[in-house]
Structure 1
Amino acid sequence: MPLVASAPETARPFVPWWSAVLLAAAAGPITDAAFPDLGWWPLAFLGIALVLVAAHGRRAGAGFVVGFVFGLSFYLIHIPWMTEFLGPDELWIVRAVPWFALCVVMALWCGLGTMLIAIATRVVPRAVRGPLGQLLFVPLVVAGLWTGREAIASIWPYGGFAWGRIAESQSDSPITPLFAWLGISGVGFLMVFLVAVAVAAVRVATVPVLLRALLVTAIAATLVAFPSFPVTTEGSLRVGAVQGNGKTGYFDPPEHAGDNLLAQYAATEPLFGEDLDLVVWPEGGSDLDPLRVPGAARVFDSVAVNTGATFVGWSITKHGEQYFNTSLLWRPGDGAVDRYDKRHPVPFGEYVPDRAVWRQFAPELIDLIQREYTPGTTDAVMDVGRDGHSVPAGFAICFDIVDDALMREGVEEGGQLVLAQTNNADFGFTDENVQQLAIARIRAVELGRTVVNISTVGTSAIVLPDGTVQDRLPRFTPAAMVAEVPLSTTTTPAVVIGRGVEWGVVAIALGALIGAAIGGRGRRASG
């Protein structure tokens, strides 16, 4: 009896072509159900399995179709909240254009990534020897290619779209502690690796069934049993976070200017007289710029003076002809003393890249986005301490929360907590805000920091470094929460490693795929 299964046996497809397409289509909604609002995290593993089974042994074109169908069926269900951004006054067909366009782009990325996975399942088994190669090395290549697809789609084009990465479904699962060790990409790699090993175990018939089952069980048990990284807290900060329940503001007529500012101020008044170190408002908390509008500056002064705390507000600011999405550090008697300008404005939401090009295709739609936010160049950390006590804080505005490099930068530059300001009023009663809170919980574990996730309308919450929610506010309700939040200077392995795991496994996977393909051609030529 041969010691390894033959390459044709391990590489042949599991199911007929039509079944593969159906599996890919089913994998999308199943995977989406693993994310909030449902949050049935085990379904992420089932979704991965369906994609890998559907792609296994396929030729390049068929692998691309499998991935494209999966990507489209996933993102269409996962991000329909994008249709809310342009407001209810626009026709649904107009509001749906950005949503559908982004879903197609992400589906194309899924198609390319799955095409490489399909090729790998055909050529890599021919290059490895022994059952361990089939059971471990081929899955490593598959997981590395999945991770690579997510990594590139998260940064390109126009800064990419890092929403919906497979590991972002695991904010409330037994493997959550792994984020502190390996970050989002590392956890995603391990998830796909586990499933790929299970899929491979079905085919490597030369290894006893019991041993194959034990291998899969051992890997799963290791992931679940991996210990939490110890986070040492050093002091605390008494924080008041205010949810004003204001409107979106972006497309409101000029006569409503100031409404959001007044709503936010009214929700803050119950904090006057509290013994606070810091008061935080969300993105969208003010629709008037206190740096240019004296009345808005007086409101900011009133918050700072009446709470006696350092005040972190927000505004759209203007310098020359450039607009910025800005967090403002405001101190009693001093006014604005520091700022964080959002590093990565959202393309086709907060600005239009290559406007002249895209306007040719949809002029009315592109013209709806009049204000062009400029990418910020400020540090991602501000000192929010008071009375001479320094407390550096990392900052994230809305979709900044999915930017791996920026979030690590806030900790690397000394941030002892993270202030995540967001405006979810743009997305109505959709899953967007709970998906974002799940990512904030993951960031808290990954960075070893408390995350104050404060929204205009919710879901606002204070998340501790272990990912648990210390306090939260009801959605679409003006309210404030006060909490003593722990500070930390711990550096987690995920911060130290950065993108090392991500690019390392991708390099191994691509190297193995290219090497196997070249080796296969060489063997055919010599034969």
Structure 2
Amino acid sequence: MPIVSLGGVLALSAFTVLVATLLIEFTAKRVLIIAIAFIAINFIPNNPQGSGSVRLLAVQGNTPSVGLDFNSRAQAVFNLHRDATREFAQKTYDAIVWPENAIDIDPRQFPEVAADITSLTKELQTPLIAGVVQRREGSPENASIAYSKTGTRESVYIKRGLTPFGEYIPLRKLAELVSPLARNVNDFVSGNERVVHTISGAKLAPIICYELIQDDLVRDMALNSQALIVQTNSATFSDTAQSAQQLAITRIRAVEHSRYILSVSTIGISAFIDNNGRVLSQTRENIKSFLVGDLELNSKKTFIDRLLG
């Protein structure tokens, strides 16, 4: 994967197409060309390490159910993550990280949820970065919110790259002609600015689920941070290849931008990944679990980031 740090995902795609094209006709000459190409790639140096780190606890609290109705009991999803955090937080951390949709009810509208967050952060004396669905003028927003040790909102990132058909309906008028049920879908509101969380002086940029496949957005976050946090919810796609595919994409992004990444999911796979795409630790799927790791900090730019940044 070092080729990604030079040419980004396009270079990796081009290399894959080249190898596939050469394999259409299996000859000794073509096999030799492929072997030389793979050997050449191995001479591309790894991304250099940075300095400093933050120690994080990632909580995979699981959900009461999976599939399209995974969040029919939003309060229960929050309770699972709250209780799992109390169970797993046995040491000192720079921050605790919850996945997307861990808090699917706006704490500003549910005082008991806000009180639980405050109680938890005060009890553990640790900041919390959580995936929250909040509401603005009646419409939902998919947010990553950093709460301080006292439970106050320190920084709020609103997801900019919304998922078509998952968070909004494209071509709404046409969709409503096809199915009247489309009128009942309330579109999410997208954010319009980059927000980076600061934890123990380190800049950690949140990427929310589908945003991971948007090149410009990920590059913008990487170039303005020292490490990335991917908050995702895989409950809708339980027992499919989606989680493994997303992990593979996350590994590529780590190499492309030379950033350590913590990816945390409601049901898994959650993982710590270094800036050369190696998975340092990961959870299994469909279970309550946690990870503890050091997210190393790096401000260096890869060739592709210098070129396009």
Work out the number of aligned pairs and report it: 308
Distance in 2 (CA, whole Å) between partners of 1:213 and 1:443 is 29
Identity %: 25
Query: RMSD of aligned C-alpha atoms?
Result: 2.4
1:351 aligns with 2:168: yes
What amino acid sits opposite 1:221 in the alignment?
Answer: I
**1:249–1:287 CA contact under 8 A, matched in 2:** no
The 5-angstrom pairing of residues 194-273 of structure 1 reads 194-196=19-21, 214-223=32-41, 225-246=42-63, 247=65, 251=69, 256-273=73-90
Cα 1:336–1:253 shift into 2, 3 Å: closer
Task: State the one-letter code of the partner of 2:117.
Answer: F
Which secondary structure does the structure 2 equivalent of 1:237 belong to? strand
* 1:496 lines up with 2:306 in the alignment: yes
Contact 1:422/1:456, CA 8 A, preserved across alignment: yes
Distance 1:197 1:352 in 2: 41
Following superposition, the deviation at residue 258 of structure 1 comes to 0.8
**Does structure 2 retain, via aligned residues, the 8 Å contact 1:248–1:423?**
no
The answer for the alignment partner of 1:184 in structure 2 is: 9
Equivalence for 1:61: none
Q: 1:291 to 1:460 in 2, by over 3 A?
A: same
**Aligned match of 2:110:** 293
Q: Cα–Cα, structure 1 residues 248 and 318, in superposed 2: closer, same or farther, change >3 Å?
A: farther
- Give the SS at the match of 2:290: strand
Compute the TM-score of the two structures, normalised by the length of structure 1.
0.55
Which residue does 2:292 correspond to in 1? 482
Which of 115, 118, 135 in structure 2 is aligned with 1:318?
A: 135
Higher strand share: 2
**Contact map agreement 2:127 2:148 (CA 8 A) in 1:** yes
**TM-fit CA distance, 1:190:** 2.3
1:375 to 2:190 alignment: yes
Matches of 2:189 and 2:49 in 1, distance apart?
37
Structure scoring higher RCO (CA < 8 A, sep ≥ 6) equals: 2
- Give the superposition deviation at 1:498: 3.3
8 A contact 1:259–1:287 mirrored in 2: no
Residue equivalent to 2:278: 468
2:156–2:195 Cα contact (<8 Å) kept: no
SS at match of 1:441: helix
Q: Which residue of 2 aligns with 1:402?
A: 213
**Residues 458 and 305 from structure 1, CA distance in 2 versus in 1: closer, same or farther, beyond 3 angstroms?**
same
1:438 equivalent in structure 2: 248
Deviation sequence 1:404-441 (CA, Å, 0-9, x none): 1111111211x111100000001121111111111111
Counterparts of 1:199 and 1:477 in 2: how far apart (Å)? 42
- Residues 329 and 339 in structure 1, CA contact (< 8 A), matched pair in contact too: yes
Higher share in helix: 1
How many angstroms does 1:321 deviate by? 3.3
Do the aligned partners of 2:254 and 2:261 also contact (CA within 8 Å) in 1? Answer: yes
Residues 303 and 311, structure 1, Cα contact 8 Å, conserved in 2: no
Per the TM alignment, residue 443 of structure 1 is displaced from its structure 2 partner at its CA by 1.1
**Distance (Å, rounded) in 2 between the aligned partners of 1:232 and 1:217:** 29
Are the counterparts in 1 of residues 117 and 151 from structure 2 also a CA contact under 8 Å? no
Q: Matched residues in 1 for 2:241 and 2:31: separation?
A: 37
The runs of 5 or more residues in structure 1 that have no matched partner are: 1-175, 203-208, 500-527
Structure 2 unmatched runs, 5+:
none
Contact 1:272 1:306 (C-alpha < 8 Å) held by counterparts:
no
Amino acid at match of 2:120: V
Alpha-carbon separation, structure 1, partners of 2:279 and 2:32: 36
Q: 1:454 aligns to what?
A: 264
User: How far off its partner does 1:199 sit?
Assistant: 5.7
After TM superposition, the score normalised by the length of structure 2 is: 0.91
Larger Rg: 1
2:216 matched to 1:391? Answer: no
Match of 1:335 among 152, 157, 161: 152
Call closer, same or farther: CA 1:216–1:474 in 2, change over 3 Å.
Answer: closer
Amino acid at match of 2:189: T
**Is the partner of 1:471 in helix, strand or coil?**
strand
